Structure 1
Amino acid sequence: MRVITTLLIACLVAVQLAWSCDPDQAHNGCKIYGASCTCGFGCRTEFIYRTRRACLNALRERSSNVCSRLPCLRGICIQTMQDPGFSCKCENTGFYGQRCEKACPTVPMRGMVFPHECIVI
């Protein structure tokens, strides 16, 4: 029963990821997430490798993996096809910005858009 539930959740997440992409950007592939390869269904801009083998090869070749240079000061680095070649996921770090370098404001300031990474649910 637990396996069926896990598979159902994985399928629902895959469908939700596909819906968040532009129709021509939905893609089945793999991406470097942290220090491992994650495969599934998502957007072409994040799932840039067609196979797990291609992803693992890129992960092993440190020079082609921009995340191996640790561009994110905090959070998780994800390799992407768009410049600068990576995206930092800053959620739950208390920071925001391209490299998770800016401290989240403690009080919303007038006229300032509160960064979504700083919202705690």
Structure 2
Amino acid sequence: MLTRTALLVIAIAAGFMFVLACEPEETQYGCKIMSSCTCGYGCKTEFIFRSRRECLDALRERSANPCSRIPCMRGICTQTVQQPGYACKCEGTGFFGQRCEKACPTVAVRGLVFPHECVVI
């Protein structure tokens, strides 16, 4: 059976692994809306609310959440503070564009610069 200290070390390590998913200067303490307001350390693009109060206010106004209208044709919609209030993450879908609406090119054409969402490493 794990001791409290071992569980604490595991929890901290798991938290650091999550935070390391973005650059150190891109991390912050904040909150995001899941089924409720979840606060912790993470990427600025995901933890967009600076406080629990700000998150709760946004949760009350969830009907105004641009992602609730499902603007992304493919990919994942995330709320942003910049207009139009959302961003679509298209990586791994085979599509790109503001709403993940454009199919990635399948054949390399001389001089064509592939959108970063279409680059497979």
Normalising to structure 2: TM-score of the pair? 0.71
CA contact (8 A) 1:95 1:117 kept: yes
SS in 2 for 1:78: strand
Shift, 1:112, TM fit:
1.4
> Secondary structure at 1:30's aligned position in 2?
strand
Partner of 1:92: 92
Backbone CA RMSD of aligned residues:
2.9
Contact 1:31 1:78 in 2 (8 A): no
Sequence identity percentage? 57
Deviations 1:3-29 (A, max 9, x none): 5456414313314535253xxxx5211
Cα contact 1:18–1:41 (8 A) shared by 2: no
Question: Against the structure 1 CA distance between its residues 32 and 103, is the aligned structure 2 distance closer, same or farther, given a 3 Å change threshold?
Answer: farther
1:33-69 deviations in Å (ceiling 9; x for gaps) = 6x675543322x5422134564355345333311111
Count of residues in Structure 1 that have an aligned counterpart in Structure 2: 115
- State how far apart, in whole Å, the 2-side matches of 1:37 and 1:116 are: 31
Normalised TM-score (structure 1): 0.71
Gap regions ≥5 residues in structure 1:
none
Quick one: higher RCO (CA 8 Å, sep 6+), 1 or 2?
1
- 1:110, distance to aligned residue in structure 2 (A): 1.4
Does the C-alpha gap of structure 1 residues 109 and 10 become closer, same or farther in structure 2, counting only changes over 3 Å?
Answer: farther
Aligned with 1:8 (options 3, 13, 19): 13
Q: CA deviation at 1:95?
A: 0.5
User: Within 2, Cα distance between the matches of 1:38 and 1:120?
Assistant: 32
Q: 1:19 aligns with which of 21, 24, 45?
A: 24
Q: Which moved more, 1:91-100 or 1:9-18?
A: 9-18
Number of the residue aligned with 1:41 = 42
Any unmatched runs of 5+ in structure 2? none
Q: Tell me which amino acid in the other structure corresponds to 2:83.
A: D
